[in-house]
Amino acid sequence: MNWLKIYLPTYLLCYFAIAFILPTWRAYRQTGIWPVTFGRSASAHDYLGRLMKWLVLGLFLSTTFYALGDPVYRWLVPVTYLQIKALHITGLLLIHLSLAWIFIAQLQMGNSWRIGIDASNPTTLVTRGLFSISRNPVFLGMIVTAWGLFAILPNALSFFTALGSYWIIQVQIRLEEAFLQQQLGATYRQYQKKTKRLLL
């Protein structure tokens, strides 16, 4: 499908603009607080932030190598028996549904949007909308996006990027949970009891 060679890199650019750049700019404009909290220290939190950047690079490299044609794409060791139409369609559905899901979740977060843990500027706990069925709908959308791209472009890099995204997000979720338990106490523990971490 030659159109995917142009569409997928374009989609990723739009995805990161909608999922990260736009809500970051909106939150900063409305609050005056820069919502990106990852730094350069040796803490587990900041280390995960750096790993996430490499995972983002993996997604872009996978789509870019594919766009450059088969001789270059073969460097990523494509899984040829998974290159079937049904998986392509499934992957396309997943990446678009996950983007819509993330967009809605971010709107519902409003000024509580942060990238990382913000210990200096406490935010309101959001429990309505998508947050009533998942405590981490944005992270869930990110995981689905990564696996959706693997379904479209099954190769070694997209597989390890999706797998790495899942495990790194799981660790980040637990760091955030520990922080929220400390900050909100019983309020957050009650939220944990009635709402799943992701969906399951």
Using the predicted structure, report yes or no on whether residue 190 has a pLDDT greater than 80.
yes
Residue 13 lies in a domain: yes
SS (H, E, C) 137-152: HHHHHHHHHHHHHHHH
Instruction: Please tell me the predicted confidence (pLDDT) of residue 1.
Output: 65
Does residue 200 fall inside a structural domain? no
Return d(Cα 14, Cα 148) in angstroms, integer.
16
Number of alpha carbons in the 13 Å side-chain half-sphere of residue 23 = 22
Structural domains in the chain (count): 1
pLDDT digits (tens, 9 = 90+) for 114-154: 999 988 888 889 999 999 999 999 999 999 999 999 999 99
Q: Is 111 exposed, middle or buried (0-12, 13-18, 19+ CB in 10 A)?
A: middle
The per-residue pLDDT for 2 is: 81
Question: What CATH code is carried by the domain that includes residue 148?
Answer: 1.20.120.1630
> What is the token pair recorded at 34?
């820069």
Expressed as residue numbers, the domain containing 186 is 3-194
The answer to whether residue 87 sits within a structural domain is yes
97 falls within a domain: yes
Q: Would the CA dihedral through 130, 136, 138, 140 be positive or negative? A: negative
133 lies in some domain? yes
CA 170 → CA 25, 61, 131, 163, distances in Å? 26, 23, 17, 11
3-class DSSP state of 64: helix
Position 148 scores a pLDDT of: 97
Inside any domain, residue 23:
yes
pLDDT at 169: 96
Rounded alpha-carbon distances, angstroms, from residue 8 to 33, 64, 109: 33, 8, 28
With a cut of 90, say whether residue 199 has pLDDT above it: no
Query: If you average pLDDT over every residue of the chain, what do you get?
Result: 94
pLDDT, mean of residues 33-46 = 91
Q: Is residue 15 part of a domain?
A: yes
3-class DSSP state for residue 81?
A: helix
Report the pLDDT value the prediction gives residue 105, as an integer from 0 to 100: 95
pTM more than 0.75: yes
Is 123 domain-assigned? yes
Q: Is the pLDDT of residue 197 over 90?
A: yes
